[in-house]
Amino acid sequence: MLDTPAATQRARVRVPLRFHDGYSVDAELVTFHGLADGQEHVAVVLGEPGPVPLVRLHSECLTGDVFGSARCDCGPQLREAVERIAEHGGVLLYLRQEGRGIGLYNKLDAYALQDQGLDTYEANAALGLPEDARDYTAAAQMLRALGITELDLLSNNPDKAEQLRGLGIGVQERVPTGVFTTPHNVRYLRAKVLTTQHTLPLADLTEVTALTELHVS
């Protein structure tokens, strides 16, 4: 366990959330003092969190979360996570880590390279950037400031669970998210399985990839 400094809650405010498909829920947004990376991360408290709340670490994705880009699955994952967490009781940590931590401009540069045939990780490497630059120290600080030291993690990404455990947060169960495929993101999802061992059904993604390539050709 790493010795991380404590963060404190800065403010809490009630916000009614409304999504494009008509789903609505009331949430409490929490801001913090003392986060290790100095970013303005936000906790979204939903439902009535119990002793083992359902938690998602959701990295900011302007293109997917706001503009509905079909090149990733971030927007649908955010929408799904809010409803599932509200039903169970828990927290969504909205982390300002655009493009797996490389930033918006670099992410768009990587998109341009993907259009030339590279996958998402190869594109990062070609730009001299890490496959995944995210660090979840601030997330662990936020959870402790909320009084959460044990949780179920809503994620397909094993690295999130491993990092939280290394930071002293008990992850009892890793709960998979849904699979949100489009013709534009299936190669991206398949690369996440093959490169970073995301728990997605590879056989299904391979089949969709083949159908997409057949349609394009």
Which are the catalytic amino acids? Answer: 132, 134
**Cα gap 47→154, rounded to integer Å:** 15
Collapsed DSSP state (helix, strand, coil) of residue 134: coil
* Strand-by-strand arrangement of the 170-175 sheet: 8-18, 24-33, 42-46, 90-95, 54-59, 150-154, 170-175
**Cα gap 118→187, rounded to integer Å:** 10
Collapsed DSSP state (helix, strand, coil) of residue 168: coil
**Cα gap 24→28, rounded to integer Å:** 13
